[in-house]
Chains A and B, each alone.
Chain A
């Protein structure tokens, strides 16, 4: 029996599968986060330049990586949705966006907290900080455009197009900001000369990155299930299979 992948484009099929996957991803996220934080806070050595304050890296770097990755994944699902006209792709993109925005916000916030002890200032107009801020604007634009359009199909496709235009622009913006920053040297502190890292630090950071992956997947799937229910509320399968459970019947 050949596996028909198109089956998974159906919200009805994905809804229970996502439900079964969420606990696994959540558990993995929690275990990895505990392990990563333990290594980060107790095993990894104190940095000889920055002391203990560098340890925020274990939250900052995973959040920053996820913030960029999620935008690309979101744009990918939007592209699939525009090309294949699959409803579920747009639901997935919409489910990813708040997690991406959250990760961007965490990256900016922890960056500011790290910047104060490391550079003596909450904010510098460094290329990375600036492009991260612009990324947050792009996420907010995507979510507000989607929220402003009442017709769901139109909202999906308009926000999807915006995400695609955004993803084409992200590299342009990034390199513009980087060049702009090098022209304005002096005020900023270079982040690019990363000090060589102890292997336990690296291990802790990579484990935290994995944990952030697991959390993002679990959170997006949870949001996806809610979006599916919202949009399919009138569908037969929701009325027959979900509503009785919600009303207290045994599945």
Chain B
């Protein structure tokens, strides 16, 4: 935090330096509260593991539902961690300081989104192939799943940040955030799960992954700006 607020004109106040200091700070905070990080990680694993118990252990069925199950669980797990993204900073006034900073707020928001993704997205990407194995997915499909998650989970973090910023300090924020954010997640779900399904049935996955990459680029342009505007509305 000090690196952001420090007024001394040294090389620590360049845009990139400020950006990385926001990322570092959020990562540090996450590492100090490791239980929070692990909660959404284990939530993901548990939700995915519930489906064979509910649907039955028939391998053909499991193979068919695996892409959707893993992606829906990823959506929910990413959403579960959204309250961590801004709420604590809003409560202790840090967010206000970020708004007052002379650096573009959208850049700072992008830093927070990146930190959120590093903490919640990366673990999902790493564990998802293992869960896919439990659903009897073939090797190429597992690789496509990991690649799809790599492209798609940052989009979830970025769109989620908008929802998190809009619901700052609002009554029943955790339920409301689901209502706001999940409809926006639908395109990512469709193409993420579609890529894995296509891989399972031996079709080309290029189209799906290209769409995910397009969503990633598009939200990287729009989401930081929208999240910054939402934070300004909440803080002012």
Q: Name A's B-contacting residues (CB within 8 A).
A: 134, 137-138, 140-141, 144-145, 148-150, 154, 157-158, 161-162, 164-166, 168-169, 172-173, 176-177, 179-180, 183
Contact = CB atoms under 8 A, between A and B. Distances in A.
B34 to A, nearest CB: 31
B76 to A, nearest CB: 16
Nearest to B197: A183
Interface of B: 162, 166-167, 170-173, 176, 179-180, 182-184, 186-187, 190-191, 194, 197, 211, 215, 222, 226, 229-230, 233-234
A18 to B, nearest CB: 28
A137 B183 contact: yes
22 contacts: A137-B179, A137-B183, A138-B183, A141-B183, A145-B170, A148-B170, A148-B171, A148-B173, A158-B166, A158-B234, A161-B166, A161-B233, A162-B166, A162-B180, A165-B226, A166-B184, A169-B183, A172-B215, A176-B211, A177-B186, A177-B190, A183-B197
| 6 tightest A-B CB contacts, nearest first | A176-B187, A180-B190, A137-B183, A157-B233, A141-B180, A176-B190
A168 B187 CA distance: 13
Contact of A154 (B179, B211, B226, B234): B234
A162 B177 CA distance: 11
Contacts of A161: 162, 166, 226, 229-230, 233
Contacts of B170: 145, 148-149
Nearest to B179: A141
A169 B184 contact: yes
The binding surface of chain B is classed by DSSP as: helix
A200 to B, nearest CB: 39
Contacts of B182: 137
B183 A134 contact: yes
Contacts of A137: 179, 182-183
A148 B172 contact: yes
A108 B97 CA distance: 46
Given A165-B184, A176-B187, A148 B226 contact: no
Contact of B186 (A141, A157, A176): A176
Contacts of B229: 161
